[in-house]
Structure 1
């Protein structure tokens, strides 16, 4: 059966089943407009489809959900390192068709569609990798086909993952065979006028809202620290350098047209004190580019890491010397290719320590006009946080935790009747009416880019205390710094609420413990109750922490929550109906309390997540003062922190505690007799940090129990 499935995928790869070759020509000009903007789009990532997945096989490293007898469920083996069965992928598309298809404007698909190359008995080959991607591309095309069946109703923007090539992680500069194959596989998604450029470097962009918003599919494998086929972004001969030059030119074109951009890719620009994903030369240049185009760029969207979180980059961390240095500059330890739970926790803790250094952004500045413009001659206190930029990293379909996808919403005020992407295919739009410039890197010359440093940048660095460290090396002819926004320009949609600002998102997850409905051996945990999204156990006898499902598993492979268990004889029960349900929504989450997804809002959330660790300026590090109160039985996921009584009276997070919690605290005070805590004069315990635990729980898609979260924290 596995060989028959493989043969089908191989045929798909070579176009025998895939349908007509070449770009489609659409002639639907007479059709009336049937769609309007909804202000919503789908971000989906990391399918990792495994055509060899076998239900009820073993989830250990030898079985890999391909053989043996074990707890591999009908829709996947949650919390394990097994990849996704076709049943999970098909059910996901069915759910999108029934619940999202007619309510979204476009799709962001951030790669890693092929399975991992983890099973030595079933090594991958190119036909399998390309066949899997072809199958998924066809499913997207079928799902979002227009009413006439001649094309697509909304755009889908795909992206390379590090497992969508062979060998994984290694991608040489183009043109190469991979770009040629994917140019055909994604022929319905890549604009025709950009296909030559795509075959050169694997990058392109789509105007998902004509003349308003473009989504840029960046080839992050040319930034990826683990790609030994390239060497960073410092040299003009490198693919990463060329991609950033292309990006600079395209963003400048958008600025001139009054458009905005969403950047998307597979590997996110994760960078902490000890770990990184991008080459340093690429990270610094990309961060500078986004800062210079902060009036254009709305957000960055990424996948790869499987954990739900976000990244705040600070332009003050940009080092100009690092942009022209070799890839050895400031080398850090590369992250593990696939996160273990502990390494993911360490990374998130480092993010939190960085956020502990942040301070809330100032309130509305009186020197800012009603239109959001800076008034001349007035000191700018950066009320919008323009020194920062934001990257959102969504969880994955592959059930390393629970399968998850995200629907983001954006402001469409004034755009309700704007032409949609499909309309551009129904209208004879000539170049003179709809100017689009595209940089062909085969004919690219360095003289095409202004190499002078903007006067605004020079003034900024003369005033900067660290001017010696931050000053751009003007003698380097290869460093072309993009122009910043005009000083009279209002802040972009990433910083100030306006059309195209992200207003929030809803995160969905599929509770496979409930859906798979496995009846395992007697020592197995019971199935998760459908209404309990905060624990995997769902009422069974809780295992001690030292015996928890992940702590004893080697970092190279995770057996999962049910590792070592087997289906009960004679026949396991049928699975329950598959469905995604809301994990959380930023519009309603009472802990996150986000008004929108502007940088100011996300920095404010990061500040609250970072509370509980105190940043010591003298040591340059975070000194955590958190202790868990084992006697805390109030049901909250709070942390007790010792601090001075004077500081206790200050409200650090602004959270309103509910009546039940207040009653519990009152009872505790009565029991202590008021004068307790002898030997600890001037000290009290206060409740904190609910926000950090809330963030950590969602990072792992609600697969960890309360005590497991506490141990990780």
Structure 2
């Protein structure tokens, strides 16, 4: 499938979507059931299809709208673009910690409506739709947070509706800034969950509103009978949530969340469906720090391993930087997952990650990821069959076992999208996925309109309640680990219900083996606010970049701090998003698709730029360079000119590989910060 056509500088009149709804107003008067009954036989609706599948969906995250934002105000700490004089642009103060003006949110959704709405199948919206508490003169209050979320929900309804109602399913979740107090969500049912049930009534299937009120989790069959998107409540996994303890004790909401997820994924597996997971706070975890409570990370990694035949991918926001994670199933510790074995679920040696990552702390975090990736085994074996490996005197099968087989099923992929709030440049991501064989399938809109004609059909299946399914045995991969390493078996925990693994003979799922519903790639869009705001003289940004002292205190005033706008009143250029990069034609990333194996290869290559990387030659001698087929135009021709076996050639190849790794690392950093940093700045991080 060709990538979505690049849309650059689309000039348009920006309607004030949010102004249509005063704070506290209902998001929409006409609301439609999201999970309507459909023909269980073939997934077709009982009404004529008005839409078709496009094989694309939108991921949008971290809008952080701020109704107090004022253009041409100061970006300094405790002012937060609310007053004073400074470089804050009409569409936002890019590279600063100021939140989004309402004009940016309006313009973004208007651009999406004009350019993307009719080309996508569903929307993944991963939370944080309220401002930060950055100004002591204007403290946040619960009623304001909820009112803003209601306004934003109404704007989403307007963006993705026609005159009859929603035509594109929207799957929301809340972030740590969508609740009050900040970061803290107590176990449900509670007033917060009840209020969001009302706010998101247009988006949550009627049959799941009870479970949402109970725990803040639900899913939507975005392609009826084929694909469901699960909205995870990551507040119950979040290490900074003082209202929860762990995910192993039955009294904890995190435990109940995983039980619900286990039951629902079993139900989808029995129906032959696939699932996509999404949430706000990602399962970021390095050698020293983490975002999730450790037992929650352990269970999540185990659950993804056991449902690897069902889950197509995992999408998150929160961190504002564009990057990915690889969870390693070799780090699963069954003693931590068993409450009876660990007493309190086990303590983590990792500290909590910073609340807001500065440029420097983000770079430190990304370096930690790189250092971890430096320890990955060489993925060369994944590119060979066993016979070829033997011919090269390589232990092909043994090498593949290091990855969990030829599809790298030892690992799991998490994709983290950058934000709309312009800590860098505002960003949107459009994924493309394989719809082979689904071209004539019923769409969510078909099923929604069918529900208006017939509220129930005979034969509809209902998911079983939590606890109804049988307890499974110890997972298959854990059994294999016990064969290799004898150890004391954890005490039996009657509350630990382990998911069943895929049945024998089941092929790898869409996250591993390219097939229908596999992610093919994505196009990353950004709005260059420096150009659009049209306020600053070219080259006038601070020579020293960001304020390092302020950033160290937790606030970044941005690259334009202290600058004076060139116009007395804002005179912006036409607003629009343009393509930053696309995985379909990014020659440095070289991703054929978004399967785990390709990201393992990319992570390994980035890891080779680390000082902690292993030798570029493996234990058996020369390593086959899987990247030599696509030489850079500016690469040294002498690298390819030496005779086989020459020592000089080996040194040249190692040097060339290191250059490739460094180039990939800088490319990764460039996109992590949404192209707001020069090459020189990136090299200095």
User: Distance between the aligned counterparts of 1:397 and 1:651, measured in 2?
Assistant: 38
The total of aligned residue pairs comes to 628
* Offset, 1:163: 0.2
Deviation per CA, 1:350-372: give whole Å up to 9, x if none.
111111111215236579xxxxx
Secondary structure of the 1:95 match is helix
Secondary structure of the 2:111 match is helix
User: Distance between the aligned counterparts of 1:648 and 1:365, measured in 2?
Assistant: 18
Secondary structure of the 1:196 match is helix
User: Distance between the aligned counterparts of 2:37 and 2:267, measured in 1?
Assistant: 29
User: Distance between the aligned counterparts of 1:591 and 1:150, measured in 2?
Assistant: 45
User: Distance between the aligned counterparts of 2:476 and 2:623, measured in 1?
Assistant: 44
* Offset, 1:419: 0.5
User: Distance between the aligned counterparts of 2:146 and 2:30, measured in 1?
Assistant: 15
User: Distance between the aligned counterparts of 2:51 and 2:31, measured in 1?
Assistant: 26
Give yes or no for the alignment of 1:560 onto 2:558.
yes
User: Distance between the aligned counterparts of 2:52 and 2:515, measured in 1?
Assistant: 19
Residue from 506, 510, 524 that aligns with 1:493: 510
Secondary structure of the 2:429 match is strand
Deviation per CA, 1:617-650: give whole Å up to 9, x if none.
xxxxx2699xxxxxxxxxxxxxxx9x99x99997
Output the aligned Cα RMSD: 3.2
The runs of 5 or more residues in structure 1 that have no matched partner are 368-378, 527-536, 615-621, 626-640, 667-675
User: Distance between the aligned counterparts of 1:508 and 1:437, measured in 2?
Assistant: 38
**Contact between 2:370 and 2:607, CA under 8 Å: does it hold in 1?**
yes
Q: Within 5 A, what are the aligned runs for 1:625-636?
A: none
Partner of residue 368, structure 2: 350
**Contact between 1:10 and 1:128, CA under 8 Å: does it hold in 2?**
no
Secondary structure of the 2:530 match is helix
Residue from 138, 142, 167 that aligns with 2:158: 142
Deviation per CA, 1:384-414: give whole Å up to 9, x if none.
1111111100000000011001000100000
* Offset, 1:12: 3.4
Partner of residue 451, structure 1: 471
User: Distance between the aligned counterparts of 1:700 and 1:435, measured in 2?
Assistant: 45
User: Distance between the aligned counterparts of 1:486 and 1:461, measured in 2?
Assistant: 19
User: Distance between the aligned counterparts of 1:319 and 1:280, measured in 2?
Assistant: 10
Deviation per CA, 1:55-87: give whole Å up to 9, x if none.
000000132100000000010000100000011
Secondary structure of the 2:551 match is coil
Give yes or no for the alignment of 1:466 onto 2:477.
no
Residue from 197, 204, 216 that aligns with 2:218: 204
**Change in CA separation of 1:255 and 1:648 when aligned onto 2, cut-off 3 Å:** closer
Partner of residue 335, structure 2: 321
* Offset, 1:341: 1.1
* Offset, 1:342: 1.0
Secondary structure of the 1:12 match is coil
Partner of residue 634, structure 1: none
Give yes or no for the alignment of 1:610 onto 2:607.
yes
Secondary structure of the 1:137 match is helix
* Offset, 1:255: 0.4
Deviation per CA, 1:165-219: give whole Å up to 9, x if none.
0111000001111111111110010000110111010000000000000000000
Give yes or no for the alignment of 1:336 onto 2:354.
yes
* Offset, 1:466: 3.2
Give yes or no for the alignment of 1:475 onto 2:492.
yes
**Contact between 1:9 and 1:127, CA under 8 Å: does it hold in 2?**
no
User: Distance between the aligned counterparts of 2:310 and 2:269, measured in 1?
Assistant: 6
**Contact between 1:518 and 1:572, CA under 8 Å: does it hold in 2?**
no
Partner of residue 461, structure 2: 435
Partner of residue 253, structure 1: 267
Secondary structure of the 2:219 match is strand
**Change in CA separation of 1:364 and 1:253 when aligned onto 2, cut-off 3 Å:** farther
* Offset, 1:140: 1.0
After TM superposition, the structure 1 stretch with the greater mean CA deviation from structure 2, 558-567 or 579-588, is: 558-567
* Offset, 1:468: 2.0
User: Distance between the aligned counterparts of 2:324 and 2:654, measured in 1?
Assistant: 35
**Change in CA separation of 1:429 and 1:657 when aligned onto 2, cut-off 3 Å:** same
Deviation per CA, 1:122-156: give whole Å up to 9, x if none.
0011221111111111111111113xx23211100
Secondary structure of the 1:127 match is helix
Q: Within 5 A, what are the aligned runs for 1:207-286?
A: 207-286=221-300
Secondary structure of the 1:13 match is coil
User: Distance between the aligned counterparts of 1:113 and 1:684, measured in 2?
Assistant: 47
User: Distance between the aligned counterparts of 1:389 and 1:178, measured in 2?
Assistant: 32
**Contact between 2:142 and 2:179, CA under 8 Å: does it hold in 1?**
yes
Give yes or no for the alignment of 1:82 onto 2:93.
no
Q: Within 5 A, what are the aligned runs for 1:39-438?
A: 39-146=55-162, 149-323=163-337, 324=339, 325=342, 326=344, 329-359=347-377, 360=379, 362-363=382-383, 382-427=405-450, 428=454, 430=456, 432-437=458-463
Partner of residue 8, structure 2: none
User: Distance between the aligned counterparts of 1:596 and 1:141, measured in 2?
Assistant: 32
User: Distance between the aligned counterparts of 2:238 and 2:469, measured in 1?
Assistant: 25
* Offset, 1:684: 6.7
**Change in CA separation of 1:578 and 1:14 when aligned onto 2, cut-off 3 Å:** closer
User: Distance between the aligned counterparts of 1:243 and 1:711, measured in 2?
Assistant: 43
**Contact between 1:290 and 1:297, CA under 8 Å: does it hold in 2?**
yes
Secondary structure of the 1:554 match is helix
Deviation per CA, 1:634-671: give whole Å up to 9, x if none.
xxxxxxx9x99x999974643633444447999xxxxx
* Offset, 1:577: 0.9
* Offset, 1:232: 1.2
User: Distance between the aligned counterparts of 1:286 and 1:420, measured in 2?
Assistant: 30
- Higher relative CO (Cα under 8 Å, sequence separation at least 6) belongs to 2
* Offset, 1:457: 5.2
Q: Within 5 A, what are the aligned runs for 1:483-632?
A: 483-519=500-536, 525-526=539-540, 543=543, 547-555=544-552, 556-568=554-566, 571=568, 574-613=571-610, 622=612
After TM superposition, the structure 1 stretch with the greater mean CA deviation from structure 2, 450-459 or 26-35, is: 26-35
**Contact between 2:37 and 2:455, CA under 8 Å: does it hold in 1?**
no
* Offset, 1:234: 1.2
* Offset, 1:8: 7.9
User: Distance between the aligned counterparts of 2:37 and 2:592, measured in 1?
Assistant: 43
